[in-house]
């Protein structure tokens, strides 16, 4: 499989927010900023309108029932419903799925009560310890905005531990999918020493323009020059090494860049 297809399949985080209250409202905006796809589940009509969550798919109805219909693997589940009983229902359902992350809001006392209930139903300690509860990285957050920031940070941290070898930055996926015709993909596969960008940084070059960066300056100018030559058919794709190491330099680095050509 070519690198372009691997990048397109790498995907982005997809968040399922159970609950449509204040934290969900702030979190949805941050998810949109991050370029993440979001689904909001909310039973209350006044908190589940498209004007409240303009960037999300909205599922209106019973939390557990709506959640049970979601089958896609690798999702990030954020449980922030208005009631303890709903949180427990959602957590019970989410733990049955192939998930990337589960987080549940609540005080330590409320979290313990929920966990005790699920232990009594036969869930193991191994299963329960995967739940991030209380949700979010500890930044002494209090307001809905602060809690949403802490949740976003925790999702970023979790996603980083399972990051694919190559991935597209937010916004570049849509731009790449709009490109047509011959496209040259240049991706850093290895970095040695000091270099502006590391493994996975990319540039796409086509008749439609340029997407991405490998760090700017002379590094990028040389990669772009070679990519344009390959686009014109003047040079062949393959691996190239770019170096800033010289005999007089006190420091320097090298990057290996793989060039591929695909028709989109």
> Which is more confident, 159 or 139?
139
Cβ atoms of 225 and 234 within 8 Å: the answer is no
pLDDT at 7 exceeding the cut of 80:
no
End-of-domain residue from the set 161, 189, 209? 161
> Which is more confident, 115 or 195?
115
Least confident residue range of 5-14, 24-33, 208-217: 5-14
Integer Cα distance of 168 and 12 in angstroms = 8
User: Is residue 154 located within the same domain as residue 56?
Assistant: yes
User: Is residue 121 located within the same domain as residue 179?
Assistant: no
How many residues are listed for the chain in this entry?
Answer: 264
Integer Cα distance of 123 and 223 in angstroms = 53
Residues 6 or more apart whose CB falls under 8 angstroms from that of 189 comprise: 199, 239, 256, 257, 258
Q: With respect to residue 224, please indicate whether it lies within any of the assigned structural domains.
A: yes
End-of-domain residue from the set 161, 196, 230? 161
The mean of the pLDDT values for the chain is 88
Q: With respect to residue 95, please indicate whether it lies within any of the assigned structural domains.
A: yes
Mean pLDDT of 231-237: 91
Q: CB count, 10 Å around CB of 51?
A: 5
Summarize pLDDT for 195-221 with one digit per residue, the tens: 778 888 899 999 889 998 888 788 889
> Which is more confident, 19 or 220?
19
Residues 6 or more apart whose CB falls under 8 angstroms from that of 135 comprise: 78, 79, 80, 103, 104, 105, 106, 147, 150, 151, 154
User: Is residue 102 located within the same domain as residue 51?
Assistant: yes
User: Is residue 33 located within the same domain as residue 100?
Assistant: yes
pLDDT at 235 exceeding the cut of 70:
yes
Summarize pLDDT for 58-111 with one digit per residue, the tens: 999 999 999 999 998 889 999 999 998 999 999 999 999 999 999 999 999 999
pLDDT at 3 exceeding the cut of 70:
no
User: Is residue 142 located within the same domain as residue 177?
Assistant: no
Check which CATH number belongs to the domain holding 71 and give it: 3.40.50.720
Mean pLDDT of 210-238: 90
pLDDT number for residue 179 = 81
pLDDT number for residue 248 = 46
End-of-domain residue from the set 120, 139, 161? 161
User: Is residue 180 located within the same domain as residue 122?
Assistant: no
Tokens 């008749």: give the residue: 207
Q: With respect to residue 244, please indicate whether it lies within any of the assigned structural domains.
A: yes
pLDDT number for residue 134 = 92
Question: With bands split at pLDDT 50, 70 and 90, how would you rate the model's confidence at 165?
Answer: low
User: Is residue 183 located within the same domain as residue 229?
Assistant: yes
Q: With respect to residue 5, please indicate whether it lies within any of the assigned structural domains.
A: no
Q: With respect to residue 4, please indicate whether it lies within any of the assigned structural domains.
A: no
Cβ atoms of 189 and 256 within 8 Å: the answer is yes
Residue 233: give the domain boundaries: 172-263
Tokens 């689904």: give the residue: 39
Least confident residue range of 31-40, 52-61, 110-119, 244-253: 244-253
Mean pLDDT of 42-67: 94
Mean pLDDT of 175-179: 79
User: Is residue 31 located within the same domain as residue 135?
Assistant: yes
User: Is residue 202 located within the same domain as residue 130?
Assistant: no
pLDDT number for residue 250 = 46
pLDDT at 247 exceeding the cut of 50:
no
User: Is residue 195 located within the same domain as residue 112?
Assistant: no
Mean pLDDT of 162-191: 78
Integer Cα distance of 108 and 133 in angstroms = 8
What's the number of domains the chain is made of? 2
């Amino acid at each position: 499989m070519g690198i372009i297809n691997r990048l397109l399949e790498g995907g982005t985080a997809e968040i399922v927010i159970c609950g449509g209250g204040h934290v969900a409202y702030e979190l949805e905006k941050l998810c949109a900023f991050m370029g993440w796809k979001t689904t909001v589940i909310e039973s209350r009509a006044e908190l589940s309108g498209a004007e409240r969550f303009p960037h999300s798919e909205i599922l209106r109805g019973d939390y557990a029932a709506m959640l049970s219909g979601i089958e896609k693997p690798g999702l990030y589940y954020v449980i922030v419903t208005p009631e303890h009983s709903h949180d427990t229902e959602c957590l019970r359902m989410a733990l049955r799925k192939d998930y990337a992350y589960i987080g549940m809001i609540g005080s330590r006392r409320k979290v313990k009560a929920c966990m005790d209930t699920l232990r009594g139903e036969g869930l193991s300690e191994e299963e329960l310890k995967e739940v991030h509860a209380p949700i979010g990285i500890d930044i002494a957050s209090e307001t809905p905005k602060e809690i949403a920031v802490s949740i976003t940070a925790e999702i970023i941290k979790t996603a980083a531990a399972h990051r694919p070898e190559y991935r597209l930055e937010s916004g570049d996926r849509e731009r790449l999918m709009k490109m047509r015709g011959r496209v040259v993909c240049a991706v850093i596969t290895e970095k040695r020493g000091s270099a502006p960008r590391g493994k996975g940084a990319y540039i796409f070059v086509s008749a439609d323009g340029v997407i991405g960066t490998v760090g700017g300056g002379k590094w990028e100018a040389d990669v772009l020059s070679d990519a344009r030559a390959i686009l014109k058919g003047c040079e062949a794709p393959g691996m190239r090494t770019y170096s800033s190491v010289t005999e007089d330099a006190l420091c320097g680095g090298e990057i290996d860049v793989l060039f591929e050509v695909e028709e989109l």
